[in-house]
Structure 1
Amino acid sequence: MTGGRSILEELTSDHREVEETFARIQETPAQGQELRDLVAEVTVELVRHSVAEEQYLYPAVREYVENGDRLADKETADVSRVEELLKQLERTDSEDPQMSALLQQVMDHVAAHVEDEENHLFPALSRACSFATLNELGDKVRRAKDVAPTHPHPSTPDTPPVNRLLAPGVGLVDRARDFVTGRGRS
């Protein structure tokens, strides 16, 4: 059931969406509910994206790309750091003076991660995989994002097969929590 975007197109599109949300955050007054809503929005986007990467991108890099283990380990560590920062951000009140500094750290880490993936990892995977494989992985990434958690969980496993087993359940709990609290409905 391929026919959608490849994994590279899907993840690059996610990168652009996150960058757009970061731009809206930078245009928003330093505090208040609007900022809190944008932080929740970017957190959901980043968590769903990183879960999909951990489930499908990094295993594919390990399998198909020369020195893939080293590349995937580096990217996994980068994602883990962002998830830790997102968890701190989630616990920080929008009125807290630390909010701005934490947001800047998240934006800086994500920008470096995106640049590294798009300039190194994606081209290497593109050279190593067939068009059909990239499209199949794109389909898997889309399905993974549909059931992925919406809150950062930096202490959950980030490698297959355990992450593939836990993510849908954690995602269900997160979406139920979001429904009850109204998070993400703005």
Structure 2
Amino acid sequence: MTATQEQDVVTVLVDQHNQVRNLFGELNTTTGDRKRELFEDLVRLLAVHETAEEEVVHPVARRKIEGGEQVVETRLEEEDQAKRALAELYDLGVDHPEFGDKLTAFEQAVEQHATREESEEFARLRAALSADELQRMAGAVRAALATAPTRPHPGSPESAAGNLLAGPPLAVFDRIRDALRDWMTEHRSD
């Protein structure tokens, strides 16, 4: 069994939170094409991360943790606001004069959300579920990550059922756009 297979869902998601934090750190210290690439990486990571949480983690938390309904509803509201802010940043582009200030505000909101998620939802999941259940959830999260949209879709549903219906077509569309963008970037000077 590999280290990835042994990870539980909380470890997988906290690792992603740390990746997000690192991307913000790099974004704040770079410019030009590298900044654009890092921002695209951040957009992809946040989009797939939130979708996986909505499909796998939040439904379990609703049912299994004390106060789960309220905890999840609050996280979903924060995630909806984040999707809208991320879509706005994406539309502005890294070269826009307002991008830096809006990115800073977005980073603060994402950090607060991640911290609350880790302390209010993830810690309670770890306490309420067995190690085996948490590892199985990690597998489900990895499957959801592989099929999730790679861009924020603010109008998309904030539920597991809604994501399962809307997610795959959006993911295909997003991944085609990503591939075209990457190809055009590679062949820009040809």
**TM bucket, shorter chain:** over 0.9
Are the equivalent residues in 2 in contact too, given 1:33–1:94 (CA < 8 A)? no
Aligned position for 1:164: 164
Are the equivalent residues in 2 in contact too, given 1:65–1:125 (CA < 8 A)? yes
Count of residue correspondences = 183
Specify the code of the residue in structure 2 equivalent to 1:178. Answer: D
- Output the CA distance in 1 between the equivalents of 2:128 and 2:93: 45
1:93 Cα deviation after fit? 2.9
Specify the code of the residue in structure 2 equivalent to 1:6. Answer: D
- Output the CA distance in 2 between the equivalents of 1:58 and 1:67: 12
Aligned position for 2:76: 76
- Output the CA distance in 2 between the equivalents of 1:19 and 1:160: 26
Aligned position for 1:45: 45
Q: Deviations over 1:135-156 (max 9, x none)?
A: 1111000010011101110110
Moved over 2 A (4+): 1-4
- Output the CA distance in 2 between the equivalents of 1:156 and 1:137: 23
Are the equivalent residues in 1 in contact too, given 2:6–2:135 (CA < 8 A)? yes
1:6 Cα deviation after fit? 1.1
State which drifts further: 140-149 or 162-171.
162-171
Alignment of 1:76-95 (within 5 A): 76-95=76-95
Alignment of 1:1-186 (within 5 A): 3-29=5-31, 32-182=32-182
Q: Deviations over 1:59-87 (max 9, x none)?
A: 11101011100000001111111110110
1:164 Cα deviation after fit? 1.5
1:180 Cα deviation after fit? 1.1
DSSP 3-state at the match of 1:102: helix
- Output the CA distance in 2 between the equivalents of 1:166 and 1:144: 13
> Where in structure 1 are there 5+ consecutive unaligned residues?
none
1:56 Cα deviation after fit? 0.9
Structure 2 length-normalised TM? 0.91
CA RMSD of aligned residues (A): 1.8
DSSP 3-state at the match of 2:140: helix
DSSP 3-state at the match of 2:154: coil
- Output the CA distance in 2 between the equivalents of 1:3 and 1:25: 30
Are the equivalent residues in 2 in contact too, given 1:4–1:139 (CA < 8 A)? no
Specify the code of the residue in structure 2 equivalent to 1:16. Answer: N
Q: Deviations over 1:14-47 (max 9, x none)?
A: 0111111111011113xx2222221111010101
| Identity, % of aligned positions | 27
- Output the CA distance in 1 between the equivalents of 2:122 and 2:93: 36
Are the equivalent residues in 2 in contact too, given 1:61–1:68 (CA < 8 A)? yes
- Output the CA distance in 1 between the equivalents of 2:40 and 2:57: 24
Specify the code of the residue in structure 2 equivalent to 1:123. Answer: A
DSSP 3-state at the match of 2:156: coil
1:95 Cα deviation after fit? 2.3
